[in-house]
Amino acid sequence: MPPLRLLLALLLLLGCASAQSPSAEQRCFCQVTGHLDDCTCDVETIDSYNNYKIFPSLQKLLENDYFRYYKVNLKKPCPFWSDSSHCGIRDCAVKPCPSDEVPGGIRSESYKYSREAATFVEDCEEAERLGAVDESLSKETAEAVLRWTRHDDSSDSFCEVDDIQSPEAEYVDLLLNPERYTGYKGPEAWKIWNSIYEENCFKPQSIKRPLNPLASGRAAAAGENEGNMFYSWLQGLCVEKRAFYKLISGLHASINIHLSARYLLRDTWAEKQWGHNVTEFQQRFDEVLTQGEGPRRLKNLYFIYLIELRALSKVLPFFDRPDFQLFTGDKRRDEETKSLLLEILHLTKAFPLHLDENSFFAGNPREAAKLKEEFRHHFRNISRIMDCVGCFKCRLWGKLQTQGLGTALKILFSESLIENMPERGPSHKFHLTRQEIVSLFNAFGRISTSVKELENFRDLLRPLQ
């Protein structure tokens, strides 16, 4: 390690952990404890509530047919840049990416990712293979799916998403396509996150995002300064815009936890073995290796958790109506699924430390409405960026999770829900499509799994007694 980086590493160590030489565990989790910013909740409460109550029931729910099939158009072209020059899409399956298509900023010197960047070209075919989406559906399922579609069409839905009507949209079995390591990382993945953070998070160009792998030619020492500037900028933002950034960062953290927890550990002709890769986890979240960024990202995971949890607790009356069904065609199973769903929603309602969404968009009504529109606009744009994700499996989960988060936000900030639902009984003005419902619960399932996985990584990092 060059002396400068070593010094920086030492400074960071002193900054966070209390012990003189913090353990590997502390170095990832030092910020993930106690109170969270912008809400009244603490990490430990969420951990035990999630890991022992929500997580097990939610997993069971998501195995049901209703939640298992998600319709998605993975063939939409990227609206922002031409994807032909990128690895991981069709072309990549037949020939590897020429090295001159790797963005120049990546090849920057002592940066920790530069080794990955160098092996990027070879990884490309591998990523394509691992990232392929399994499209198989049994004949019975295909028929049932047809019936659901008719059922959805006949409902009083007024927010149909065009995409779903497209002949290119197809059902995908989410259980056959788990979110896990695909080999899709490095420059191409950075480009997606970069456009999200740089162009869609209210951030002026003059403020540099710390640890941006696409920022070329920067010295390690600049990192700390950028971090200071960035966080004082973030602190100065209004609570809504800060929340927006934290949601994106939390989603990003969750995806990275999944990749580390379902890492491809063994790949032989006889078997593939997926499991925890502690080194990968540390590279993404260790305080020293990430110049302090990792622990902050983990903290944002809890923020997105609270937002989605609050949305679920609020939407209970919509699902509680006697005429609401989770229709798959199997009446008995559908009823069972619905009662499990309601059980979970009651559990979310019982959570004692919900954040208060009324503190968002609360100021001057005209300003608030404008801000809300901007918020929505940015979020919609981010969902479009998902069509630029090269690896199909990552695109699938990216689209699903943004739609799920979007649905959570729709619930939290929907006027018709707020005005009409409480006590007096649910309004029929508020509606969720099957797609919205499936994405909402599966997205929350991902975040809940990530919180649970943190416990596993904590154990793996704990020194043996």
Residues at the interface with ligand NAG (CB under 6 A): 80, 195, 199-200, 263, 265, 277, 279-280, 283, 381, 385
Q: Which is nearer to ligand NAG, 264 or 342 (CB)?
A: 264
Q: How far is the CB of 200 from ligand NAG (least distance, A)?
A: 5
Q: How far is the CB of 290 from ligand NAG (least distance, A)?
A: 13
Q: Which is nearer to ligand NAG, 263 or 327 (CB)?
A: 263
Q: Which is nearer to ligand NAG, 157 or 283 (CB)?
A: 283
Q: How far is the CB of 391 from ligand NAG (least distance, A)?
A: 17
Nearest residue by C-beta to ligand NAG? 195
Q: Which is nearer to ligand NAG, 170 or 280 (CB)?
A: 280
Q: How far is the CB of 381 from ligand NAG (least distance, A)?
A: 4
Q: How far is the CB of 184 from ligand NAG (least distance, A)?
A: 13
Q: How far is the CB of 398 from ligand NAG (least distance, A)?
A: 14
d(CA 392, CA 35): 37
Q: How far is CA 280 from CA 223, 261, 264, 457, in A?
A: 21, 9, 11, 11
Q: Which is nearer to ligand NAG, 172 or 385 (CB)?
A: 385
Q: Which is nearer to ligand NAG, 202 or 231 (CB)?
A: 202
Q: Which is nearer to ligand NAG, 116 or 330 (CB)?
A: 116
Beta bridge partners of 171: 71
Q: How far is the CB of 65 from ligand NAG (least distance, A)?
A: 34
